[in-house]
Structure 1
Amino acid sequence: MFSRYEIRLSGTGGQGLILAGMILAEAIAFGEKKQVVQSQNYGPEARGTNSRSDIIISDQEIDYPKALHLDALLALNQAALEENFPALKERGLLLIDSDLVKEVPPVPYVGLPLTRLAKESAGHPQSANMVALGALAALTGQVSLRSLGAAAARYFKDEGLEKNIKALKSGARYGRKRFSGDSSAIAVV
């Protein structure tokens, strides 16, 4: 049976969302052996402007490489939520950084303190992107932590890899703990 799953990672340039999208796409392609397309969009200044990375996953060849109806949306700030929420499917997964996004539409969503978890697990807020990937892995079932870790190893070495693996695990652990890995049971947090 044909399936297509669309994920958008959105926030501000400098939050590592383009890198996170590349890691997620590689993890799905090489680790999960699925078809995947990754695209990115960011402002001309890159750092400080809106940024997003779209990942389309399928068990068959992807004939249209643009995300239209998101199954999952990560919003790391308020502007990202407001700009990208209209593309989320009615029953799609909405994951927000609960410390940075304060006004959420009246729909079920997952609010996790992604930046705070990054500081606690990896020692710096820049790993919020990796915490988010770990949470998305636990909540969507589209990719394993093992595949994400292997893909991350292509981008990070030594201490950087170790810290980002801790961030991935923290996000996955928090996602599983709070939501038992069942995205159909997600409620407003």
Structure 2
Amino acid sequence: MGNRKEILLTGAGGQGLILASIVLAEAAVNDNKNVVQTQSYGPEARGGASMAGVIIDVDTIDYPKVTKPSILLCMNETSFNKYLPKVDTDCTVFVDSTFVKGPFRDDYQIASFPITRTAREELGREVVANMLALGVINAATALIDRHIFRDSIFRLAPRGSGELNQKAFDAGYHLYEQGPEDGIGFSAQTIK
């Protein structure tokens, strides 16, 4: 991993992005990284805009907000349209093709995976799409040791759902290995 990674997880309220950011932050801390996690969501508990930021660095983090994302996750079309114009073209963008449709601009590194559809069809629960997305991102970037990540997922998942959430995370690795559905400018070598 390079020194500093700034990650934005975006989508709709109810997609579990705040929990995903907390899991990501704890896993990074347990992997001996410095971390800051922030969150924001619209007035609606479900369906409104949701955004969480995580900064991971081996050095001291002196400002708590994501200002130059190196990784952007968009779990719906609204967040894709809102946040893509705010990131540089060297940001790696992961989109959930269940809700975000191409064609995509070719000046960004965009990788499209059927995250929610895979959670629904392979695991029987859309609610674990957040952990599946983290699996895709971590498989692509090697941000955090996989076993440490899985332990954090088990600890922080809602009671009784730790194993299912770990399976979702592992399914994200498998989905990444299958390759993106539409990946303009995307290759694993460019983001590791």
TM norm structure 1: 0.89
Distance 2:174 2:87 in 1: 25
1:138 partner letter: A
% identical aligned pairs: 36
Distance 1:137 1:170 in 2: 12
Distance 2:130 2:96 in 1: 10
Over aligned residues, Cα RMSD in angstroms?
Answer: 2.0
The residue that corresponds to 2:126 in the other structure is 125
Moved more, 116-125 or 99-108: 99-108
Any gaps of 5 or more consecutive residues in structure 2? 181-186
2:11 partner letter: G
Which residues in structure 2 correspond to 1:15-54 (within 5 Å)?
15-30=15-30, 32-54=31-53
SS of equivalent to 1:128: helix
The residue that corresponds to 2:140 in the other structure is 139
Distance 1:132 1:166 in 2: 12
- Does residue 88 (structure 1) correspond to residue 87 (structure 2)? The answer is yes
- Between Structure 1 and Structure 2, how many residues are aligned? 183
The residue that corresponds to 1:4 in the other structure is 4
SS of equivalent to 1:41: strand
SS of equivalent to 2:88: strand
2:60 partner letter: E
Offset from partner CA, 1:84-121 (integer Å, 9 cap, x none): 11232221111001121014333331100001111133
Q: Is the 8 A contact 2:97 2:114 kept in 1?
A: yes
The residue that corresponds to 1:149 in the other structure is 150
CA 1:44–1:175 in 2, change beyond 3 Å: closer, same or farther?
A: same
Q: Is the 8 A contact 2:135 2:169 kept in 1?
A: yes
2:6 partner letter: E
CA 1:184–1:39 in 2, change beyond 3 Å: closer, same or farther?
A: same
Distance 2:158 2:19 in 1: 15
Distance 1:157 1:69 in 2: 31
Q: Is the 8 A contact 1:68 1:87 kept in 2?
A: no
> 1:159 deviation in Å?
4.7
CA 1:63–1:158 in 2, change beyond 3 Å: closer, same or farther?
A: closer
TM norm structure 2: 0.88
> 1:29 deviation in Å?
0.6
> 1:25 deviation in Å?
0.4
